[in-house]
Structure 1
Amino acid sequence: MAGPTTAERGERQQESSGPPLVRRLRNRRFRRTVLLTLSVVLLGSGSGWLLYGSPWLRVRHVSVSGTAVLTPEQVLEAADVPVGAPMVSVDTDGIEARLRRKLPRIDVVDVVRSWPRGIGLKVTERTPVLLIEKGGNFTEVDKEGVRFATVPQAPKGVPALELSLSRSGSATASLRRFGTDRLVREAVDVARAIPAAVRRDTRTLKVRSYDDISLELGGGRVVEWGSSENGAAKARTLTALMKAASGARHFDVSVPTAPASSVS
């Protein structure tokens, strides 16, 4: 009786060896998947412990920079940074909001992580452009019209705001139409537009109505500014007018295309 052919022997060999080979490949892939999963789990657990449980990545010191009137101690107290807490868990947005709420003098603050163990508080304070005197104290007003602090002494080089709203028709109409807050805002816009050299010499910024704002300078000199409109043009005109009429005591730039000056 003839034996199996070569083809039959090959088929039998594949049948006997095929399934174990497939099983081995499947087992190998399974072990590889298990090992990869375990590695990911261990890596995640290790990273979590490093960030939240490790003593090396915790807040140990807080620094303050940029203060002028405020002290670093005031900023630190208001910030209330959780020293000892994990660096990654520090709520930087919450600290910034808390600082602006507790210390209105702060205009901008950046809370930055300084890895591995520091928190930096970078502060920018508001700068007053006008002062409002009341009861012997002075309220500081910044370039945005924000009244951010009250101090017992007037800072040097900052003009005082005087609201001299008469009972004349124009003044009453301005007050009724714009309100005190709007007139203060107009005064702030004028204060921002005044040339730097003139601003340093400005003692008082007087508001009689929306379009009747004047500056009282040192030496009894007066500048009629008018409204806050065309501030840049008025500033350029005033600078040129003061150079051309250095002995004048009265300057009028309320209409910048037709300025005037006089010695009286």
Structure 2
Amino acid sequence: MAGSTAAERGERRRGASGPPPVRRRFGRRHLRPIIILAVALVFLGSGAFWLLYGSDLARVERVSVSGTRVLTPGEVRGAADVPLGDQLVAVDTDAIASRLREELPRIRTVDVVRSWPHGIGLNVTERTPVLVVEKGGEFIEIDGEGVRYATVSRAPKGVPRLELNTRRSGTTAASLRRFGEGRLVREAVRVTREVPAAVARATRSVKVRSYDDISLDLADGRTVAWGSGENGAAKGRALTALLKAAPDARHFDVSVPTAPASSGS
């Protein structure tokens, strides 16, 4: 009662000095490689950061251009204004793409890619004209989305002319007030996508008098009354059947595809 026995004191000493040293030795053996790995990662990270942001080993030295048809690579490079000499990793590719689309409307899409270690690639897709509008002796190109994107001095070969009757009277004026000129242009584009391929190749002009009064003039003098841009697939099938059934006709009307008609010879 007055104090611990020698056996008890021995047990306490063994309990205090036994297991902990084993755990400490185990911890020290595994802590050293962890510390070495952490230090190595720090050095590797610092080296990678320096390589990308501080060295001359990954700077922009060249700009390549692909996909152009009408535009020249020089025009694309000039509009892109890629900062030569800047660190490749720091180049703002989104800003370059936005600049190209804004300054060169002919570009429909552009993919700006880093080409390590010294290049920037500009992969361009240009718009393709499906209609042209003549104005002042020049021609405005319109693509398959109805976008007017370029003015050229000579009409592209094989592209029909769009004749938009903009006189502010009658049905045309009513259509312009209701739909707007842009919508009427898109309807004309819509028609060009639905016309049978053989007719599309022979189409000389697309005339828009109103939303539901669109017609085609063919190169051989024949005409097609198409109506609106609606039910295009059915109208295309009806026109193909009419052309076979009445090859000598001069006028075809598919504005109501369930009741197509032809006339003249």
Distance 1:26 1:177 in 2: 82
Specify the alignment match of 1:57 in structure 2.
Answer: 58
Partner secondary structure for residue 180 of structure 2:
helix
Specify the alignment match of 1:196 in structure 2.
Answer: 197
Q: 1:102 to 1:252 in 2, by over 3 A?
A: same
Give, in angstroms, the shift of residue 116 of structure 1: 2.5
Q: 1:119 to 1:167 in 2, by over 3 A?
A: closer
Distance 1:202 1:171 in 2: 22
Partner secondary structure for residue 199 of structure 1:
helix
Distance 1:224 1:18 in 2: 99
Partner secondary structure for residue 256 of structure 1:
coil
State whether residues 130 and 161 of structure 1, in contact with CA within 8 Å, keep that contact through their aligned partners in structure 2: yes
Amino acid in structure 2 at the alignment position of 1:175: L
Amino acid in structure 2 at the alignment position of 1:260: A
Specify the alignment match of 1:254 in structure 2.
Answer: 255
Q: 1:18 to 1:176 in 2, by over 3 A?
A: closer
Output one character per residue of 1:34-90: Cα deviation in whole Å (capped at 9) or x when no partner: 544433322221110121123222222221111111111111111112222222112
Amino acid in structure 1 at the alignment position of 2:185: V
Amino acid in structure 1 at the alignment position of 2:237: R
Give, in angstroms, the shift of residue 176 of structure 1: 2.4
- Map 1:97-112 onto structure 2 (within 5 A): 97-112=98-113
Q: How many residues align?
A: 261
Deviates more, 1:147-156 or 1:244-253: 244-253
- Map 1:106-145 onto structure 2 (within 5 A): 106-145=107-146
State whether residues 128 and 141 of structure 1, in contact with CA within 8 Å, keep that contact through their aligned partners in structure 2: yes
State whether residues 157 and 199 of structure 1, in contact with CA within 8 Å, keep that contact through their aligned partners in structure 2: no
Specify the alignment match of 1:184 in structure 2.
Answer: 185
Give, in angstroms, the shift of residue 20 of structure 1: 6.8
Give, in angstroms, the shift of residue 263 of structure 1: 2.5
Matched, 1:38 2:21: no
Q: Return the TM-score normalized by structure 1.
A: 0.87
Distance 2:52 2:173 in 1: 64
Alignment RMSD: 2.6
Distance 1:231 1:221 in 2: 19
Deviates more, 1:194-203 or 1:123-132: 194-203
Q: Return the TM-score normalized by structure 2.
A: 0.87
List gaps (5 residues or longer) in structure 1: none
% identity of equivalent residues: 64
Distance 1:42 1:166 in 2: 75
Distance 1:92 1:165 in 2: 42
State whether residues 165 and 209 of structure 1, in contact with CA within 8 Å, keep that contact through their aligned partners in structure 2: no
Distance 1:52 1:14 in 2: 57
List gaps (5 residues or longer) in structure 2: none
Specify the alignment match of 1:234 in structure 2.
Answer: 235
Give, in angstroms, the shift of residue 8 of structure 1: 5.0
Specify the alignment match of 1:210 in structure 2.
Answer: 211
Specify the alignment match of 2:72 in structure 1.
Answer: 71
Output one character per residue of 1:93-121: Cα deviation in whole Å (capped at 9) or x when no partner: 11111110110000011111222322211
Specify the alignment match of 1:175 in structure 2.
Answer: 176
Amino acid in structure 2 at the alignment position of 1:58: R
Partner secondary structure for residue 220 of structure 2:
helix
Distance 1:214 1:14 in 2: 103
Distance 2:13 2:178 in 1: 104
State whether residues 166 and 208 of structure 1, in contact with CA within 8 Å, keep that contact through their aligned partners in structure 2: no
Amino acid in structure 2 at the alignment position of 1:213: I
State whether residues 108 and 124 of structure 1, in contact with CA within 8 Å, keep that contact through their aligned partners in structure 2: yes
State whether residues 165 and 172 of structure 2, in contact with CA within 8 Å, keep that contact through their aligned partners in structure 1: no
Output one character per residue of 1:188-216: Cα deviation in whole Å (capped at 9) or x when no partner: 21122222221121111111111111111
Q: 1:170 to 1:23 in 2, by over 3 A?
A: closer
Distance 2:209 2:65 in 1: 43
State whether residues 224 and 251 of structure 2, in contact with CA within 8 Å, keep that contact through their aligned partners in structure 1: yes
